[in-house]
């Protein structure tokens, strides 16, 4: 059954789903221009479709400097962007999109991974975000799932969009966190910013906004999930070809900056997160950084032979 947030007439919505899930025949080129205030204007969709609906994913490797336990640890991060058909009601990838066109929406899936070591033991983190391409019709991401693994144990978190906002489910090996379920109001997900940049920078809100902080940040800090106020800005970076989107979380001292290309396809060049690292008296402000190393387009799901390890070399992955 469709939730109230999706209670519009299916007859009116069907043409929008078809357009969202298929490449169009428009002859318009896609361009993104920025005003002096840093706001973007999106025009056309041919260039977008030709880039994102070509049957390949975009793989990006980053040099990672991760703050943890009051120190900086070197590692690797990977951003995998790919479009796919998604179910609005089940909030999973559709096996046969043609069977339920009224339930189908095209999303930008982002799989973000981080791998780094703290002393003798490793951390492995994966986050998946599912953000509708047609952001004007569907302004909120439908789902985020995040897992963390390290030698002490592992955790899992999932946020699903519903008619009240986001249903949060969390599981952890820590007694104080255990198995939890809660309901949050509707707000910008920090985790969806990367995908919104790639879809259309105009979709990024600015000014005083409500934000649900990133699932990885909340898990690593062992903090409850909640909606918090923040100030968002979109402006030119020091590099002329780049823009920077910034979230300032006020008195907490936490800041997030994401640097991306002004020109389509708005590749993400780097990001920085300033926050306290460590616990108790050992906590101090440090900056986590990720800087782009390599980027390729590839149907990676078909590249699972031992000879395909050459693509890891192309991405400069250890």
pLDDT tens-digit series, residues 111-138: 999 999 999 999 999 999 999 999 999 9
Between these two residues, 88 and 39, which has the higher pLDDT value?
A: 88
Q: What is the mean pLDDT of residues 188-192?
A: 98
Structure tokens at 315: 């991405």
- Checking if the pLDDT of 28 tops 80, the result is no
- Within a domain: 145: yes
**What pLDDT is stored for residue 37 in this prediction?**
36
The answer to whether residue 10 sits within a structural domain is no
Q: Are 10 and 102 in contact (CB under 8 A)?
A: yes
Question: Is residue 151 exposed (0-12), middle (13-18) or buried (19+ Cβ within 10 Å)?
Answer: exposed
Q: How confident is the model at residue 226 (pLDDT cuts 50, 70, 90)?
A: very high
| β-pair partners for 40 | 34
- Tell me if 7 is assigned to some domain: no
42: Cβ contacts below 8 Å, ≥ 6 apart: 30, 32, 200, 201, 202
What is the 3-class SS of 84-105, one letter each residue?
EEEECCCCCECCCHHHCHHHEE
Does residue 232 belong to any structural domain of this protein? yes
User: Is the pLDDT score of 278 beyond 60?
Assistant: yes
pLDDT, mean over the chain: 87
Coil, helix or strand for 220?
helix
The model's pLDDT over 12-27, given as tens digits with 9 standing for 90+, comes to 333 333 333 333 333 3
**Which range marks the domain in which residue 256 is found?**
30-314
Is 12 inside any structural domain? no
Within a 10 A sphere around the Cβ of 225, how many other Cβ atoms?
17
Q: Where are the alpha helices (DSSP H) in the chain?
A: 10-21, 46-52, 193-199, 215-221, 310-314
Percentage of the chain beyond pLDDT 70 is: 85
Query: What residues are paired with 268 via a beta bridge?
Result: 260
Number of structural domains, the chain? Answer: 1
The Cα–Cα gap between 23 and 19 comes to 7
Answer yes or no: is 259 within a domain.
Answer: yes
Nearest Cα neighbor of 112 from 100, 124, 121 is 124
In a domain, 302, yes or no: yes
CA 157 to chain centre: 15
Q: Any idea what DSSP says for residue 279?
A: S
Residue 43 lies in a domain: yes
pTM: 0.85
Specify the length of the chain in residues: 318
Each residue of 138-168: pLDDT tens digit?
999 999 999 999 999 999 999 999 999 999 9
């Amino acid at each position: 059954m469709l939730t109230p947030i999706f209670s519009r007439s299916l007859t009116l919505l069907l043409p929008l789903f078809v357009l969202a899930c298929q490449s169009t025949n428009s002859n318009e080129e896609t361009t993104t221009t920025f005003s002096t205030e840093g706001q973007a204007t999106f025009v056309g969709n041919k260039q977008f479709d030709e880039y994102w609906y070509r049957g390949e994913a975009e793989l990006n490797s980053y040099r990672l400097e991760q703050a943890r336990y009051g120190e900086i640890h070197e590692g690797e991060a990977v951003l995998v962007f790919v479009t796919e058909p998604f179910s609005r009601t089940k909030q999973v990838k559709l096996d046969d999109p043609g069977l339920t066109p009224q339930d189908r929406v095209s999303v930008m899936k982002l799989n973000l991974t981080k791998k780094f070591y703290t002393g003798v033991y490793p951390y492995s983190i994966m986050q998946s975000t599912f953000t509708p391409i047609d952001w004007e019709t569907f302004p909120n991401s439908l789902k985020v799932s995040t897992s963390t693994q390290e030698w002490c144990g592992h955790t899992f978190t999932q946020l699903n969009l519903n008619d009240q906002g986001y249903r949060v489910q969390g599981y952890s090996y820590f007694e104080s966190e255990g198995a939890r379920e809660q309901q949050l109001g509707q707000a910008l997900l920090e985790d969806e910013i990367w995908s919104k940049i790639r879809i259309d920078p105009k979709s990024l809100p600015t000014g005083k906004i409500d934000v649900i902080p990133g699932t990885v940040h909340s898990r690593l800090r062992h903090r409850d999930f909640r909606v918090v106020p923040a100030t968002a800005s979109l402006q030119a970076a020091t590099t002329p070809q780049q823009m920077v989107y910034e979230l300032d979380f006020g008195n907490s001292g936490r800041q997030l900056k994401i640097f991306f290309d002004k020109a389509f396809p708005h590749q993400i060049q780097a990001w920085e997160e300033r926050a306290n690292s460590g616990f108790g008296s050992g906590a101090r402000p440090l900056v986590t950084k990720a800087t782009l190393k390599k980027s390729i387009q590839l149907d990676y799901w078909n590249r699972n032979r031992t000879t395909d390890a050459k693509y890891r070399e192309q991405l400069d992955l250890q």
